[in-house]
């Protein structure tokens, strides 16, 4: 069995996925002298839109950014003024639960794409291989793990870390538990620019974000950088919607007709204002892993971020928890270099499992109070 020092001096770490978790881990381990390779299925960093703005918490995402030595770069891209958050009802009036405000742990906002890019830019050249879709992971006779890619090529590593999100290819080697669809999909859209400039909505929004909430439904409006306003409509639909209705997400007219129908009991003028969209729509089916699941540590194999504990964005912490996992995994692997790698993985996983219990539990409670969602894990 390898020690952490042997892994650092003579071994290779393979990270599957170059999202925020994978890129953070690669950066932190490279800083400590490990040889790290990241395999990402996207053809390039700009292959697909990276979503909206994220609040990087002081006690989580920002700790990882600081440890990565990227605080100054982060400050260049982040927006402290975007922390402002309001909650309104379906008529645009103050919501009975309060104005949202902000909380002590809230950090500046940063676009998800900018965050990922600043992490990627910090890696040594050729760390990430783009367009490498991991098809399977298996153990090799020499005690290493073998990654096989869609193009039939393969790669062997002493430690494999699954940072490959909700449909992880690494997770099935660790646990048979799978994420469960919660019965809700978010439709993401961009608001037409010419409509919101100097508009009532722009005034309501200020520099931050607004959640319109009523009848177990929400429309979340978020100001991002580059003059962009994103909208997320919550839709109680089948997991494969809108295919299940006979149309695709690219059919903007049909999707927006379904959105308007879902919000027919809201103020018509508000819904009209919030459905003036531009460009492509995206669907984001929400799923969750159980809060209390645990597993036995595997030799040289672990996972971080959404692959381990995907949860809906109800508490807005997904990216923060992903980066915190990577920070703690890197710390575990470097705290005592004489420790066996598996003991370091076990220390890390125990902490992550405890955190998941608390965070997923809180997320599901928020889901129940705002959306009336109850996820039944006992159902097959
Ligand atoms: C479009 C979008 C918008 C979001 N908006 C918010 C938000 O506003 N607030 C919030 O809290 N959370 C949001 N989230 C969730 C949050 O971003 C996640 O919790 C966070 O990104 C988790 O990071 P991760 O690195 O663990 O996983 P991911 O970000 O999912 O990254 C996984 C990476 O692995 C790659 N990958 C997957 N499978 C393979 C494979 N087989 N081989 C190689 N590579 C693979 C993927 O292409 C991806 O780059 C959003 C997620 C998405 C996708």
What is the 3-state secondary structure of 225-255? Answer: CCCCEEEEEEEECCCCCCHHHCCCCCCHHHH
C-beta of 220 in contact with ligand 1 (< 6 A): no
Residues 6 or more apart whose CB falls under 8 angstroms from that of 80 comprise: 108
Per-residue pLDDT for 365 more than 80? yes
What is the model's pLDDT at position 96?
A: 83
Picking from 28-32, 98-102, 316-320, 346-350, which range would have the lowest pLDDT averaged per residue?
Answer: 98-102
Q: Of 17, 23, 106, which is best to mutate to test ligand 1, by the most ligand atoms within 8 angstroms of its C-beta?
A: 17
User: Ligand 1 mean position to 268 CA, how many Å?
Assistant: 34
Reported confidence tier of residue 101, pLDDT bands at 50, 70, 90: low
* pLDDT confidence bin for 102, thresholds 50/70/90: low
Q: How many helices (H) and strands (E) does the chain have?
A: 12, 16
pLDDT band at 100 (very low <50, low <70, confident <90, very high): low
- Name the residue of 129, 185, 220, 318 whose CB sits within 8 Å of the most ligand 1 atoms, as the mutation to test its pocket: 318
What are the tokens at 369?
């109070």
pLDDT digits (tens, 9 = 90+) for 115-154: 999 999 999 999 999 999 999 999 999 999 999 999 999 9
Give 301-358 as a 3 state SS string: EEECCHHHHCCCHHHCCHHHHHHHHHHHHHHHHHHCCCCEHHHHHHHHHHHHHHHHHH
Read off the pLDDT of residues 230-279 as tens digits, 9 standing for 90 and up: 999 999 999 999 999 999 999 999 999 999 999 999 999 999 999 999 99
- State whether the beta carbon of 318 lies less than 6 angstroms from ligand 1: yes
Q: Nearest CA to 322 among 158, 140, 172, 112?
A: 112
- What does the DSSP 8-state code read for residue 60? T
Q: Domains along the chain?
A: 4-85+110-179+289-371 (3.50.50.60), 182-288 (3.30.9.30)
Average pLDDT across the chain, whole number: 94
Q: Is the pTM of this model over 0.85?
A: yes
Residue 288: CB within 6 Å of ligand 1?
no
Higher pLDDT, 105 or 26: 26
Alpha-carbon distance 178 to 309, whole Å? 10
pLDDT band at 90 (very low <50, low <70, confident <90, very high): very high
CB 82 within 8 A of CB 108: yes
pLDDT digits (tens, 9 = 90+) for 296-339: 999 999 999 999 999 999 999 999 999 999 999 999 999 999 99
Distance 165 CA to ligand 1 centre (A): 5
Given a cut of 70, whether residue 216 has pLDDT beyond it is yes
CA dist 304 and 235 (Å) reads 28
Q: Calculate how far, in angstroms, residue 285's C-alpha sits from the geometric centre of ligand 1.
A: 12
pLDDT at residue 227, as a whole number: 79
In whole angstroms, what is the distance from residue 370 CA to residue 365 CA? 9
39 lines ligand 1 (CB under 6 A): yes
Judge if the upstream peptide bond of residue 242 is cis by omega within 30 degrees of 0. Answer: yes
pLDDT band, residue 225 (cuts 50/70/90): confident
pLDDT at 39: 98
The pLDDT of residue 202: 82
Q: Distance from the CA of 340 to the center of ligand 1, in angstroms?
A: 30
How far CA 306 is from CA of 269, 288, 313, in Å, comes to 37, 9, 11
Q: Torsion over CA of 166, 170, 172 and 177, rounded to 10 degrees?
A: -40
pLDDT at res. 140: 93
pLDDT for residue 252 = 97
């Amino acid at each position: 069995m390898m020690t952490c020092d042997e892994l650092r001096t003579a071994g290779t770490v393979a990270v599957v996925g170059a999202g925020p978790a994978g890129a953070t881990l690669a950066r932190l381990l490279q800083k400590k002298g490990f040889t790290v390779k990241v395999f990402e299925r996207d053809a390039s960093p700009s292959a697909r839109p990276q979503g909206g703005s994220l609040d990087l918490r002081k006690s989580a995402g920002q700790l990882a950014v600081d440890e990565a030595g990227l605080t100054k770069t982060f400050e260049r891209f982040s927006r402290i003024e975007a922390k402002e958050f309001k909650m309104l009802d379906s008529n645009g009036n103050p919501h009975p639960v309060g104005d949202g405000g902000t909380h002590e742990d809230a950090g500046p906002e940063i676009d998800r794409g900018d965050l990922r890019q600043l992490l990627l830019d910090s890696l040594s050249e050729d760390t990430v291989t783009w367009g490498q879709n991991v098809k399977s992971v298996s153990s090799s006779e020499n005690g290493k793990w073998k990654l096989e890619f869609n193009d039939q090529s393969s790669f062997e590593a002493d430690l494999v870390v699954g940072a490959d999100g909700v449909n992880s290819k690494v997770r099935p080697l660790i646990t048979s538990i799978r994420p469960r669809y919660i019965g809700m999909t978010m439709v993401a859209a961009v608001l037409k620019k010419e409509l919101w400039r100097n508009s009532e909505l722009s005034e309501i929004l200020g520099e931050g974000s607004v959640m319109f909430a009523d009848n177990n439904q929400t429309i979340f409006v978020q100001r991002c950088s580059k003059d962009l306003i994103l909208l997320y409509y919550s839709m109680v639909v089948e997991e494969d919607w809108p295919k299940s209705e006979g149309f695709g997400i690219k059919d903007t007219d049909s999707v927006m007709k379904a959105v308007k129908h879902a919000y027919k009991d809201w103020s018509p003028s508000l819904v009209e204002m919030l459905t003036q969209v531009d460009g492509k729509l995206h669907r984001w089916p929400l799923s969750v892993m159980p809060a209390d699941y645990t597993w036995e540590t595997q030799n040289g194999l672990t996972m971080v971020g959404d692959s381990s504990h995907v949860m809906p964005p109800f508490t807005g912490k997904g990216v923060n928890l992903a980066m915190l996992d990577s920070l703690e995994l890197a710390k575990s692997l470097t705290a005592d270099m004489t420790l066996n790698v598996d003991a370091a993985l076990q220390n890390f996983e125990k902490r992550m499992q405890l955190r998941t219990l608390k965070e997923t539990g809180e997320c599901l409670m928020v889901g129940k109070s705002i959306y009336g969602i109850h996820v039944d894990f006992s159902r097959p």
